[in-house]
A = this chain, B = another copy of it.
Amino acid sequence: MSPQYYLGALLLMCGALAYLQEGPSSLSVYALRLGPGEEIVTSLFKFVEEKKLKAPFVITCVGSVTKATLRLANSDALNTNEIIYLNERLEVVSLVGTLNEHAHLHISLADKDGKTIGGHALGDLEVFTTAEIVIGEASTLQFTREMDNHTGFPELVIRPRSEDAIST
């Protein structure tokens, strides 16, 4: 094959890699507190939408909930029914993930005996007393989701913001 072919393939690979990692970016942070009865996942979606965040992620979250719906580890694109519905007081001991459209959040929760349970946060995370959350926004990046045929899920794509996007 011609040198042009290899050069083309190389450029294509570099382009693909560019979607998978980006930086450095400066960072802005937002802090919010949710009160009794508010739902964490919905509230975060709403917050991100209102503030028009383009590359948001969770830095820390401390709080307590009275309910939670988690998708468990054996789920995949063809088996989405591995779900647990919790209905008890739980302490949020970790919340990790990215917050753009189709946010991807995992959580671990500790129960009345300190036992922890974790998985993909689907919703129903109703606050018991409080949820204190700090969100980071990578100022020069743009997160989107695009279907990945290898996984069957829309997966995170990371790009630098266009000049126009940064100025807005």
Also in contact, A155 and B129, with CB within 8 A (given A31-B55, A72-B91, A90-B73): yes
Complex CA–CA separation, A91 to B95 (angstroms): 12
Task: Give A95-114 as 1s and 0s: 1 = Cβ < 8 Å from B's Cβ atoms.
Answer: 11110000011111111111
Contact of A132 among B26, B89, B94, B98 (CB under 8 A): B98
A33 surroundings in chain B (CB, below 8 A): 20-21, 155-158
Question: Which B residues are CB-close (under 8 A) to A49?
Answer: none
Hey, what's the 0/1 contact readout for A119-159 against B, CB within 8 Å counting as 1? 11000000011101011111001010000101101011110
Residues 27-39 of chain A, each 1 if its beta carbon lies under 8 Å from chain B, else 0 = 1111111111000
Q: Are B151 and A84 in contact (CB under 8 A)?
A: no
How many residues on A have C-beta within 8 angstroms of the other chain's C-beta atoms? 82
**B51 lies within 8 A of A97 (CB):** no
What is the copy number of this chain in the assembly? 3
Residues of chain A whose beta carbon lies under 8 Å from any beta carbon of chain B: 20-36, 47, 51, 55, 57-64, 70, 72-74, 76, 82, 84, 88-98, 104-120, 128-130, 132, 134-138, 141, 143, 148, 150-151, 153, 155-158
For this complex, 27 residue pairs linking A to B, each with C-beta atoms less than 8 Å apart, are: A20-B32, A20-B33, A20-B34, A21-B30, A23-B31, A23-B51, A25-B31, A27-B28, A31-B143, A57-B60, A57-B134, A58-B60, A60-B96, A62-B96, A72-B110, A72-B112, A72-B114, A76-B129, A84-B114, A92-B106, A93-B106, A93-B119, A98-B132, A108-B116, A109-B118, A110-B119, A129-B155
